[in-house]
Amino acid sequence: MPKDEFVAGDPMALVGVVIPGEPGMLETMAESIVEEYVRLGWDEPRLFALFINPMFMATHRIYRQKGETYVRELIRRVREQWVISKDLATLR
């Protein structure tokens, strides 16, 4: 069978599902995502684009559920935390 031929019911097909979580998990996930990209050197506009673009389903879900103000404050808070941590590390 060729690799690009679709077979219904393929057991190796990737399937995304939503897993129910506990309160606060959405916020924890959002902070982790922002932290990862901040540590890669992304600036605020580039990070915010991840949240407003529906193509990025996880971050866009956070944006829809929590709102623009929450996302902008989260990005600023996490960026400040890592900039301060980075500055302190260079002083050592």
Residues 27-52: pLDDT tens digits?
Answer: 999 999 999 999 999 999 999 999 99
Domain count, the chain: 1
In a domain, 1, yes or no: no
What kind and span of H or E run contains 49?
Answer: helix 44-52
Domain, as residue range, for 52: 26-91
3-state secondary structure of 8: coil
Instruction: Please tell me what DSSP assigns to residue 3.
Output: T
In a domain, 5, yes or no: no
In a domain, 41, yes or no: yes
**Amino acid 20: pLDDT:** 75
Task: Write down the pTM of the prediction.
Answer: 0.70
Q: Which two tokens stand for residue 90?
A: 């260079």
Cβ-based neighbours of 59, under 8 Å, separated by 6 or more: 30, 33, 50, 51, 53
